[in-house]
Structures are given as C-alpha cells and as structure tokens.
Amino acid sequence: MSARILVVEDDLLNRMFYHEVLESRGYDVTLVADGALVLDEVKRISPDLITMDIQLPHISGLRLIRKLRENEATRSIPVIAITAFAGRGEQEKAMAAGANGYLSKPVTVDRLSNSIRQALETNGHAIG
C-alpha cells in the first residue's frame, strides 16, 4: 500500500507541483490549501507524512506543527516543513516546533522526494 501524504500549501502552483511529483512517485496525495482545515483533515485521513508550508494565511505552519505534536494521535506523524526563506534560523524554528525535516523554496523534485523517502524510512514505512 502506498504511503498517504498530506500536502499543506496555500499557493496553487506549488500545490500542483507537489501533487504531480508525489503522485508520479506512487504516493497517495491529499492537498489542503487552508491552514484552518489541516487538523480536521489529518484526523480524517491519518496521513503517513505531512509536508507543511510554514507561511499560510490565518495560521502559521509552525503553530500547526506544535498542535500536531501536542496531540497523542498525531504526535508521531512525520512532518517536513517548507519555508519561503532559507536560513539557519528558519530551520531551527521548524525543528524546534517539531518538524522532522526542512526544505526551503524553491523546492526541487529531488530534494522533495529525497526528504520524503528519508522521513518515511525513518518511520518504518516500506517504500515501493
């Protein structure tokens, strides 16, 4: 069974890019544009991994990661934080919030698929 990935991203073109890349790699992809819907969507689909845009309207991705970590049911879901700003400070903030991985934009096909594969392997998912 292919891993289920929840993509949180407010930008339409980025969403389409992640969708295409991840589906072509055989993942089962669900897209969410609105940060306010993330926690409900996580509960609904129980993703194996989440890619989390940090810059979202209304609620920051960092805040969402903290909320996921506070909840027993979602605590162990791997999260890859994606930010528009490169820099050690951004990465440290994401990791401190509880992210398992970090990518700065522009995200390339290779960096995206490598970090997802790595995070899934670390969490014991068979890749295929």
Q: Smallest gap, in angstroms, from Cβ of residue 120 to Mn ion?
A: 23
Task: State which residue, 10 or 41, has the beta carbon closest to Mn ion.
Answer: 10
Pick the piece of the chain touching Mn ion (CB under 5 A) from 20-28, 51-59, 67-75, 96-104: 51-59
87 with 105: CB under 8 angstroms?
Answer: no
Q: Count Cβ neighbours within 10 Å for each residue of 39-62 and write b for 16 or more, e otherwise.
A: eebbeeeebbbbbbbbbbeeebbb
Q: Smallest gap, in angstroms, from Cβ of residue 95 to Mn ion?
A: 19
The residue written with tokens 């400070």 in the block is 89
Q: Smallest gap, in angstroms, from Cβ of residue 55 to Mn ion?
A: 4
Q: Does 41 bind Mn ion (CB under 5 A)?
A: no
Give CA separation, 57 vs 11, 92, 123, in Å.
Answer: 10, 21, 30
Question: How many residues bind Mn ion, per CB under 5 A?
Answer: 3
With CB under 5 A as the contact rule, the residue among 55, 113, 118, 123 that binds Mn ion is 55
Q: Smallest gap, in angstroms, from Cβ of residue 2 to Mn ion?
A: 26
4 with 47: CB under 8 angstroms?
Answer: yes
Interface residues with Mn ion (CB under 5 A)? 10, 53, 55
